Chains A and B, each alone.
Chain A
Amino acid sequence: MTETGRTLLWATLILALVAMPLAVSSGRWIEFLEFTLFVAVLGQGWNILGGYGGQYSFGHALFFGTGAYLQALLQFKFGFSPWIAMWFALAGGIAVGGAVGFLSFRYGLRGSYFALITLAFAEAFHVLSRSFISITEGGRGVQLALNQDPERALAMFQFNFAGPFLRAYGFYYTILIILLLAYAATWWMERTRFGAQLIAVRENEDAAEALGINAFRVKMGAICMSAGITAFAGIYYTQKFLFIDPGIAYGPSKSIEALVAPIIGGLGTVFGPLIGAIFIHGLGEFAKEMIGLVWADRPGLDLILFGIILILVLGFAPRGLVGISEAIWNRVRYRIRTLRSKTDA
């Protein structure tokens, strides 16, 4: 596909997302879209480090949870404005990313060792957030006060009692803006020297070093950017639900959601995580309905479905849905070309 063709396609998709509330008025659909975009942001966070950098993390909940907890605690304990707390939450997520990255990359942990160390850190924070009750409120979690004053809806970053538009679409546009920022950052990164060097490190770290790339510094940059985007997903989560607890913040489910979307959508591509998130959540909703119809409610069956899809994608389409569609597109174009040259002859 040509560069302009691709840009047009994505511009259409983004416009469709921006205009979506015009077409969809049902609250349930907006919730579904919000959740899909949320996973697409989580996925992009993971994709920067895993897809572009080849460092597969199993503990991205670490960055999500840190962002979410800081956003909640700074308001809850110190009465920070959510708009101020946000920057500390972002910095906190990046700091944790930098610390884990420093420890792993300094000592050359790659592949499954890196996956294990991130998993271990996420679990450690899971346990710590449960046991340091004086700081984190422990297993009860942190419940933020509900703002019931419509005047202060924006100032408090809470839209439950805001005007009709914000109440219905406030968080949809919040996550859409976060998504656009994260995706623009990724798109930009892909076109810089840093991006090229990150991909080189993924492809072959020794060769990259031999060609003058400081692999340690490049990976540190990637994990900080990755952690920052993921922490932003955490900030959104706290504002949306006004509640966070150790299981939500640091449990394994966020780590898994973060990696499934980019792997299915297409590793190391700007829009892979979004495509992956739309696909699995579309399918997940569909599956829930179908399973609900046939066997009544069986929670967890959709997760089995995700697992099967993940295995199929890893086995047969390592470049994900983006890779499949490009392959199909190239084949179609090739057919058209040969047909044309035949008719010309």
Chain B
Amino acid sequence: MLKVRALSKRFGGLDAVQAVDLDVEPGEIVSLIGPNGAGKTTVFALISGFLRPDNGQVIFEGSDITGRRPHEICRRGVVRTFQIVQPFANLTVRDNIAVGAHTHIASRTQARKKAEEIANQLGMTVMLDQPAGDLTIAGRKRLELARALATAPKLMLLDEVMAGLNATEVDEIVDLVRNIRASGVTIFIIEHVMQAVMKLSDRTYVLNEGKLIADGEPDRIASDPVVIEAYLGQGAAARIAGGRSNA
């Protein structure tokens, strides 16, 4: 469904993303993890058209979408959410979601009705008339999901939709993401909350300093020495292994 080939982006002297290859198949939940500053959000920005890659290709359902504008990419069925939530603060939750629905629905009334359905699906019905600016952080994260879902996407790029939430809220979002996948939407997710990554993903890519260092099933990744070192520093994997053998 999504093929990323040799994707690269430089910011001045920094190679933010270097020759990254990724594949996401229809119906999967694929996660992208990595330490802070690894370039995960940059990868999403490159795929969704917010940044133009210096090199490489993004292919979605067989057609090249490299360097297209975000709104065109959205209309083809790839929608992103933002790590730093970007609500339309002065609009109600209903109108926020309706903006997403307007990608495929022209009528205001129909778009608002669609917004109510989506809000129902995501457990936001009581918030419908609240201004988005008044929502809690958990509410705003949910709104990001709801608005994106309203565009009727084929592939959702979710950028840390669980950051800053407590354990209960994380579990709720995990369920929501599962439900969204069950409704036929493919999910590509950046996440730091490991508990969620392990529960959700079919496959995981690990990015460090702009390069992919590992990929595979989440439990295998979690015990991969290269990954542990990327997170905890050189020699950490050996020390952990050593600690285990001592015990």
Contact = CB atoms under 8 A, between A and B. Distances in A.
Interface stretch (A93-101, A204-212, A302-310): A204-212
B80 interface: yes
B79 A196 contact: no
The 9 closest A-B pairs by CB, nearest first: A203-B88, A212-B74, A212-B103, A207-B86, A209-B70, A200-B99, A214-B71, A211-B100, A204-B86
24 contacts: A193-B108, A193-B111, A196-B95, A196-B98, A196-B111, A200-B99, A203-B87, A203-B88, A203-B89, A204-B89, A206-B82, A206-B86, A207-B88, A209-B50, A210-B148, A211-B103, A211-B147, A212-B75, A212-B102, A212-B103, A213-B99, A213-B102, A213-B103, A214-B72
Given A192-B108, A199-B88, A204-B89, 4 more contacts: A196-B102, A196-B108, A203-B88, A203-B90
Main secondary structure of the interface of A (DSSP, over half): helix
B51 to A, nearest CB: 12
B69 interface: yes
B182 interface: no
B88 A213 contact: no
Contacts of B74: 209-212
B48 A211 contact: no
B30 to A, nearest CB: 20
B222 to A, nearest CB: 31
B106 interface: yes
Nearest to A195: B108
Contacts of A209: 50, 69-71, 74
A203 B74 CA distance: 19
A207 B111 contact: no
B238 interface: no
Nearest to B147: A211
A211 B86 CA distance: 11
Interface string B97-135: 011101100111001000000000000000000000000
A196 B99 contact: yes
- In this complex, the member of B70, B74, B150 whose beta carbon has the largest number of chain A beta carbons within 10 angstroms is B70
A66 interface: no
